[in-house]
Amino acid sequence: MSIVPAPQPDGPLFAEVDMGGDASFPTVRATVVQASTIFYDTPATLDKAERLLAEAAGYGSQLVVFPEAFIGGYPRGSNFGVTIGNRTAKGKEEFRKYHASAIDVPGPEIERLAAMAGKYKVYLVMGVIERDGYTLYCTVVFFDSQGRFLGKHRKIMPTALERIIWGFGDGSTITVFETPIGKVGAAICWENKMPLLRTAMYAKGIEIYCAPTADSRDVWQASMTHIALEGGCFVLSANQFCRRKDYPPPPEYLFSGIEDELNPDSVVCAGGSVIISPSGAILAGPNYDGEALISADLDMGEIARAKFDFDVVGHYSRPEVLSLIVRDHPAKPVTFTSASEKTEDAHKLL
């Protein structure tokens, strides 16, 4: 592994961490981005994303994965003024601002991200906060190297206080996209701990398993290694590296319970982004040093070698004993019968 020295001001934004692959096998160069949102400023965050994407593409990357909630922001430390039975006026205003920073899917920000992917000829996996009316979702959006929006995955289980600000995704967005570089999908942060969700993704044939996260603890690495071994897939986990100064200052934004202990340079999320092979080998990272582009060459032949040992939904499954049913249709709270009647009438006219 080689670490490119810190760039000069007119050079690349961040250091790049690289590990080469074996040229005798097909390889995919992948990069995970470890960088902070510009909180409450979605246009500036999109500009930053493009700079990072351009740098990764210049390094030869074919696939670039950004952290959870990179567009829209991960509201670390905030409680949105919520206690059981009460919501404060300040917390409601904080949610209004957070809602304003989110994006529509599809929408103009999705069009810009698609244009970026096409411009730099990379497959792009981006964590966003999706706005659907007045409900927000923690979402990952996917783009191909031709600039086409492939689809999205909504986090199906927000963790702890995330549930007061984010809705729950349904089974219709448990997606794995077949692309020329491999079958690509994503699970977000702690939903990676859900064995049945992982099993559904393995059944869809995932080969490049993206795991955008907000968890920078050392123990996260154990989960990522386990998933790589269990699924016989590459795991690419991207996390933000954030200091207190990357969030608005107090009193506009408060880190509940610890604000008095922080100074502007205090690290509030230490990263830990990593790339792991199907054999459980760490190819690049984990990085806890700062904002960085972390890259590795994925030897796609490793997947078959790993599956020879263990194929969790193939030769190592026992469907007559244990099986899984996935309800993968959209779960809508309201269905209007007139819409279905119009559809039936249209079919009758054909």
Q: What is the pLDDT of residues 50-66, one digit of tens each?
A: 999 999 999 999 999 99
Max CA pair span of the chain: 69
CATH of the domain at 65: 3.60.110.10
- Residue 19 banded pLDDT, cuts 50, 70, 90: very low
- Pairing label, strands 27-34, 292-299: antiparallel
136 in a domain, yes or no?
A: yes
- Residue 117 banded pLDDT, cuts 50, 70, 90: very high
Answer whether residue 321 shows pLDDT above 50: yes
319 in a domain, yes or no?
A: no
- Cα-based distances in Å from 278 to 38, 136, 206, 236, 302: 34, 34, 11, 11, 6
Averaged pLDDT, 218-235: 97
Q: Are 239 and 273 in contact (CB under 8 A)?
A: yes
Q: Where do the DSSP E strands lie in the chain?
A: 2-3, 15-18, 27-34, 63-65, 82-83, 86-87, 123-132, 135-143, 149-154, 176-179, 182-186, 208-210, 234-237, 241-243, 267-270, 273-276, 282-287, 292-299
- Residue 26 banded pLDDT, cuts 50, 70, 90: confident
DSSP letter assigned to residue 48 = H
Query: What domain count does the chain have?
Result: 1
Q: Structure tokens of 118?
A: 């096409």
Answer whether residue 12 shows pLDDT above 90: no
Answer whether residue 14 shows pLDDT above 80: no
135 in a domain, yes or no?
A: yes
316 in a domain, yes or no?
A: no
Residue 164: what are its φ and ψ, rounded to 5°?
-85, -15
Domain of residue 210 covers 27-309
222 in a domain, yes or no?
A: yes
Q: pTM for the whole thing?
A: 0.89
18 in a domain, yes or no?
A: no
Q: What is the pLDDT of residues 63-83, one digit of tens each?
A: 999 999 999 999 999 999 999
5 in a domain, yes or no?
A: no
94 in a domain, yes or no?
A: yes
Q: Structure tokens of 257?
A: 């319970």
Q: Are 142 and 124 in contact (CB under 8 A)?
A: yes
Which residues are catalytic, by number?
Answer: 68, 155, 189
- Higher local confidence (pLDDT), 18 or 258: 258
